[in-house]
Amino acid sequence: MTLVSKTFELYGKTYTFESGELAKQATGACLVKQGDTTMLDTVVVSKERKNYDFFPLTVDFNEKMYAAGRIPGGYLKREGRPSEKATLTARMIDRPIRPSFPEGFRNEVHIVATSLVADQVNPFDVINVMGASLAMTLGGVPFEGPLACVRIGRNVETGEFIVNPTYEERENSDLDLELGGSADFISMVEAGAEEISEDDMLAAMKFGQEALAAFCQAQVEFVAEWEQVNGAIVKKEYPLDQPVEEVQERIFAHYDEMAAALRDADKLSRIGKVEALKESIRAEFTDEEQAAWEREIPVALKKLEKKAMRTMVVETGERVDGRAADEIRPIMVKDNYLPLVHGSGLFQRGQTQVLSVLSLGMLNEGQRLDTIEPTEGKRYMHHYNFPPFCTGETGRMGSPKRREIGHGNLAERALLPVLPDENEFPYAIRVVSEVMESNGSSSMASTCGSTLALMDGGVPIKRPVSGIAMGLIQEEGKTVVLSDIQGLEDFLGDMDFKVTGTTEGITALQMDNKATGLTFDILARALQQAKEGRAFILQKMLDVIPEPRHTTRSTAPRIVSIQVPTDKIRDVIGSGGKVIRGIQDETGASVDIQEDGTVFVGGTGESVDQAVERIKLIIKVPEPGEEYTGRVVSIQPFGAFVNLLPGKDGLLHISRVAKGRVEKVEDVLNVGDEVKVVVIEVDDRGKISLDRLDKPEAPARAEGASEGDGEHFQRRERPRRERSERNDRPRRPGDNGGRKPRRHHDAE
């Protein structure tokens, strides 16, 4: 195998494909670069077919901290469980690739994306779909490729679309749209947006489809160069599960019974009827037949259920719960659902129910991110939990699964555009959505419930957000777009299309599409139908809580911000943090100081006001004429130092401690005494001179004290003789006036 490398430019960015040197024992491997960001994508297909009735595809993203020149945090100093970004990237790779495999493929497929270099300029996520697509192509894996994924941004100043924008370009974009698919159709969409219109979103998707085609063509050209060097690629043959005609006929004979069992609006009741019917159909097969067709029978039963549901919709226009195609399930909304918490909201639509709970905290309580991206943290966190009881099942509780992380991220993106700026609302914000029961669209119910919790908690969001999940059925040449799909329509339908937004536009979007016949006309129809559904749902929410509460709850921390000069930050913190710790310990408030001098003070009750007052006193500079009652902290021969403010001492000169002359400061003042003073001067070095108010009379002088005015020392009781008197004293021979004679040394 010979190394082949191809560098090309598309839409103003430089890319490289490379294969033939790394991971040669994998079924296929490819190195893909954007700028200096470098990813290795590998695929391995098991040799044996698995005895499953589903396609066993696994995608892992290997986030290596060395890619960004960092050492992992924690005690072990090595990579641990995947970050949320790694999990979301793995999902991004999985979603366009999974529907590209042929039906009946049962060999295990494992795709691993490994970050080798993250240049902090070009994002590393979307290029992995191209890498995985090339790895599968070079490995002869049968799939409908080539595939690609692109990110589309839009410059807020020029309105121009940007393909695979850099991190810096994304900062100046009002759209973050990721599309995955082939040159002919889109199979995956994920988006966050600053309330853009349906027409603009559709235009961005059309532009993205053109970009997908360009990157797919680049792969075709690379494969052609590869085959010139290494020979033609031979597609491997993998046995597929083929439907057995006899099994199909016997099972589809129960079509009318399945259609009748599906007509039940209650999810658990319907599932019970369908499962009971499936068991009775299985019982018609002998033990030998069930053993021989152990894979074919469950697959055919699933096809029967799918066919009955889809035919019912396209032929009669009726859904399993009796709704019309654009009809929304009954909605129940409650705000202020829980006491004491900072905000809460309960949202129910049909048999999907979500309780969202708000928590507010100091900005330094935001999430710190230890990833290979340049982003260091985030202030808003949305977490989504899907316990087994919400679907009436048993199961093991543990860390969030990929689905929970993905759904939480979607609701987070939906609400980010409407959150207030931290200067307006200086809080870290966490919302947890607990799914209490689920029958489809729980992520959209989480978006609605979280909007309720934010408004109930007094978070001044710009506008409320609602969301809806749309579906699609294409059967027998007919197409039906469904509003507010439930679980069965998601599993057995052709599209799951979630849209969130405000009255002003779309804030987030997610789509998984299995229909190759999805056109932009159908997408436009789905977006318009979703807009109408969102408006209906939003009105139900506004009927209960029309606007955010004007204040946060009494149980929530009160946070205020003040600005201190940057040269005073050291004074507020103190040596080793002594001052700031003292403020927090004595007041009970939390204090967070930013590098620009912004200080956030948070707490409950009077603690915030007390801490703010302490900080203001620290940074205050006394001015001439201001009066203080201070404490004597130090006494020197020339005066006393009086503490006026925290960290601010002034000098009260000995000549100003009392009326008249004072021999010693200690005669009038002691350390710890409180004294009223006025500032008389502050020099250019910040030294403060004081004068005492209400001076007492100076104490009486001791006998023999000097009468000299302004001389603050005591003469000796026995005065020294004048020099002339000493010189007149008669000297004896050798007398040197009392001085020792100098010792003379002869020079050597």
Segments making up each domain of the chain, as ranges: 4-72+79-230, 245-316, 331-393+400-544, 558-619, 627-692
Give the pLDDT confidence score for residue 702 in this predicted structure: 52
Q: Which of 250, 297, 254 is nearest to 273 (CA)?
A: 254
For 627-692, the fitting CATH number among 2.40.50.140, 2.40.170.20, 2.40.160.40, 3.30.450.270 is: 2.40.50.140
Place of tokens 């000995």: 654
> Is 543 labelled as part of a ligand binding site?
no
Give the pLDDT confidence score for residue 647 in this predicted structure: 76
Q: Is the dihedral of CA 284, 285, 290, 295 positive or negative?
A: negative
Q: How far apart, in whole angstroms, are the C-alpha atoms of residue 516 and residue 534?
A: 27
Give the pLDDT confidence score for residue 568 in this predicted structure: 84
Q: Are 49 and 55 in contact (CB under 8 A)?
A: no
Give the pLDDT confidence score for residue 120 in this predicted structure: 95
For 4-72+79-230, the fitting CATH number among 3.20.20.70, 3.40.390.10, 3.30.230.70, 3.90.550.10 is: 3.30.230.70
Q: How far apart, in whole angstroms, are the C-alpha atoms of residue 129 and residue 117?
A: 17
> Is 174 labelled as part of a ligand binding site?
no
Q: What is the pLDDT of residues 237-270, one digit of tens each?
A: 999 888 889 999 999 999 999 989 998 888 889 9
Q: How far apart, in whole angstroms, are the C-alpha atoms of residue 7 and residue 13?
A: 11
Tell me which residues of the chain have a pLDDT lower than 70: 701-748
Domain 558-619 fold:
Ribosomal Protein S8; Chain: A, domain 1 (3.30.1370)
Give the pLDDT confidence score for residue 31 in this predicted structure: 97
Q: How far apart, in whole angstroms, are the C-alpha atoms of residue 434 and residue 386?
A: 7
Distances, alpha carbon 79 to alpha carbons 61, 75, 115, in Å: 12, 11, 12
Q: How far apart, in whole angstroms, are the C-alpha atoms of residue 493 and residue 470?
A: 10
Rounded to an integer, what is the distance from CA 1 to the centroid of its chain? 43
Q: How far apart, in whole angstroms, are the C-alpha atoms of residue 187 and residue 731?
A: 121
Q: How far apart, in whole angstroms, are the C-alpha atoms of residue 500 and residue 410?
A: 9
Q: How far apart, in whole angstroms, are the C-alpha atoms of residue 100 and residue 558?
A: 53
CATH number of 331-393+400-544: 3.30.230.70
Q: Which of 344, 338, 332, 342 is nearest to 451 (CA)?
A: 344
Amino acid at 258: M
Q: Which of 318, 320, 212, 218 is nearest to 266 (CA)?
A: 320
Confidence (pTM): 0.84
Give the pLDDT confidence score for residue 719 in this predicted structure: 46
